[in-house]
């Protein structure tokens, strides 16, 4: 088996990207997907993304977690596939593409990609945390001394104990300044802390606003892999015009042979 692949990263959240418009990739082979994402025996990535033909959009995004299973929306992956589509000549600077959670608009800019996320109409604020879905389910929890926080142990426990087998992504947050927050995320499917999570920082921005901690309609989120900007409109029905903005970078390209 032989096929070309591209390695992308968006603020350290990395992906194996494959042009599958001709259906060259055996996407039911979960073991192959997990192997490609394996950092010891494969290319190494947080997930694998297929770019496919779409009837009602410029292209379709199909996302798989590092465990080989198809997953919910990935914000950083969405930004990276937009840059990938432009590189392939599928789009120019503006696009509308299909993902598992519906249609997404995006624009390629000089400093990265601006991706419109789905509207959010339900945000559940509990005593110690907030839960919402931004294309993927997210738990958002404020903590102190985030640099020293055990994200892996605490995130894994919350992912399983509160959310069961299906799980949720777990975001730990600390305030840096009035308009800047620090975020670290434990991702289900990867089952580890990742350097960045696009749907996660989107969830953090909305959760902070819903809790009253954030007064503005945009915020910079500092992750271990870099800084992302989230902006949105808040209204009586929830949150709309939500944009995730940041870099999307091609690392290298190669050919997988097995």
State how far the Cα of 26 lies from the Cα of 28, in Å rounded to an integer: 6
Q: Tell me which residue range forms the domain holding 94.
A: 2-116+247-257
Question: Does one domain contain both 10 and 93?
Answer: yes
Question: Does one domain contain both 83 and 166?
Answer: no
Question: Does one domain contain both 217 and 155?
Answer: yes
Domain total of the chain: 2
What's the pLDDT tens digit per position in 218-241? 999 999 999 999 999 999 899 999
What's the pLDDT tens digit per position in 182-221? 999 999 999 999 999 999 999 999 999 999 999 999 999 9
Question: Does one domain contain both 190 and 241?
Answer: yes
What's the pLDDT tens digit per position in 69-91? 999 999 999 999 999 999 999 99
Task: Please give the pLDDT value at position 132.
Answer: 98
Question: Does one domain contain both 103 and 167?
Answer: no
> Is residue 37 annotated as part of the catalytic site, yes or no?
no
Task: Please give the pLDDT value at position 1.
Answer: 83
Question: Does one domain contain both 140 and 66?
Answer: no
Mean pLDDT over 33-50 rounds to: 98
Task: Please give the pLDDT value at position 62.
Answer: 98
3-state secondary structure the chain: CEEEEEEEEECCEEEEEEECCCCCCCCCCHHHHHHHHCCCCCCCCCEEEEEECCCCCCCEEEEEECCCCECCCCHHHHHHHHHHHHHHCCCCCEEEEEECCEEEEEEEECCEEEEECCCECCEEECCCCEEEECCCEEEEEECCCHHHCCHHHHHHHHHHHCCCCCCCEEEEEEEEECCEEEEEEEECCCCEEECCCHHHHHHHHHHHHHHCCCCCCEEEEEECCEEEEEEEEEECCEEEEEEEEECCEEEEEEEEEC
Task: Please give the pLDDT value at position 178.
Answer: 83
Residue 258, pLDDT above cutoff 90: no
**Residue 241: CATH number of its domain:** 3.10.310.10
State how far the Cα of 186 lies from the Cα of 171, in Å rounded to an integer: 6
What's the pLDDT tens digit per position in 121-137? 999 999 999 999 999 99
The CA-atom distances, in angstroms, between 156 and each of 84, 89, 168, 190, 218 are: 32, 40, 10, 11, 29
CB 225 within 8 A of CB 98: no
Residue 19, pLDDT above cutoff 90: yes
* Overall size of the chain counted in residues: 258
Question: Does one domain contain both 216 and 131?
Answer: yes
Tokens found for residue 133? 């879905």
The band of 43, judged by pLDDT with boundaries at 50, 70 and 90, is: very high
Using alpha carbons only, what angle is made at residue 174 by residues 138 and 191, rounded to the nearest 5 degrees? Answer: 40
State how far the Cα of 190 lies from the Cα of 43, in Å rounded to an integer: 15
Question: Does one domain contain both 111 and 130?
Answer: no
Task: Please give the pLDDT value at position 22.
Answer: 97
Note the pTM of the prediction, 2 decimals.
Answer: 0.95
Active-site position among 74, 99, 115, 118 = 74
Question: Does one domain contain both 172 and 134?
Answer: yes
What's the pLDDT tens digit per position in 138-179? 999 999 999 999 999 999 999 999 999 899 999 999 999 888
Question: Does one domain contain both 104 and 157?
Answer: no
Encode burial over 103-142: b for 16+ CB neighbours within 10 A, e otherwise: ebebebeeebbbbbbbebeebeeeeebbbbbbbbbbbbbb
Question: Does one domain contain both 232 and 146?
Answer: yes
Active-site position among 81, 118, 197, 228 = 197
Question: Does one domain contain both 68 and 99?
Answer: yes
């Amino acid at each position: 088996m032989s096929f070309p692949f591209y390695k992308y990263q968006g603020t350290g959240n990395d992906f194996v990207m494959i042009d599958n418009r001709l259906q060259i990739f055996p996407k039911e082979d979960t073991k192959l997907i997990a192997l490609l994402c394996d950092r010891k025996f494969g290319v190494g990535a947080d997930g694998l993304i297929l770019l496919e033909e779409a009837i009602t959009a410029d292209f379709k995004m199909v996302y798989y977690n590092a465990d080989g299973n198809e997953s919910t929306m990935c914000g950083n992956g969405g930004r990276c596939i937009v840059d990938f589509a432009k590189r392939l000549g599928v789009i120019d600077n503006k696009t509308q593409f299909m993902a598992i959670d519906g249609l997404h608009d995006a624009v390629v800019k000089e400093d990265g990609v601006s991706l419109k996320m789905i509207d959010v109409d339900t945000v559940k604020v509990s005593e110690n945390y907030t839960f919402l879905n931004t294309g993927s389910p997210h738990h958002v929890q404020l903590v102190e001394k985030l640099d020293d926080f055990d994200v892996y142990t605490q995130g894994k426990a919350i992912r399983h104990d509160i959310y069961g087998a299906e799980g949720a992504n777990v975001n730990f947050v600390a305030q840096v300044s009035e308009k800047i927050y620090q975020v670290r995320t434990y991702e289900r499917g990867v089952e580890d802390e990742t350097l960045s999570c696009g749907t996660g920082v989107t969830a953090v921005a909305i959760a902070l606003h819903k809790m009253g901690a954030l007064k503005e309609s945009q915020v910079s989120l500092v992750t271990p892999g870099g800084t992302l900007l989230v902006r949105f409109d808040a209204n009586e029905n929830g949150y709309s015009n939500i944009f995730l903005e940041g870099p999307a970078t091609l690392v290298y390209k190669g050919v997988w042979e097995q």
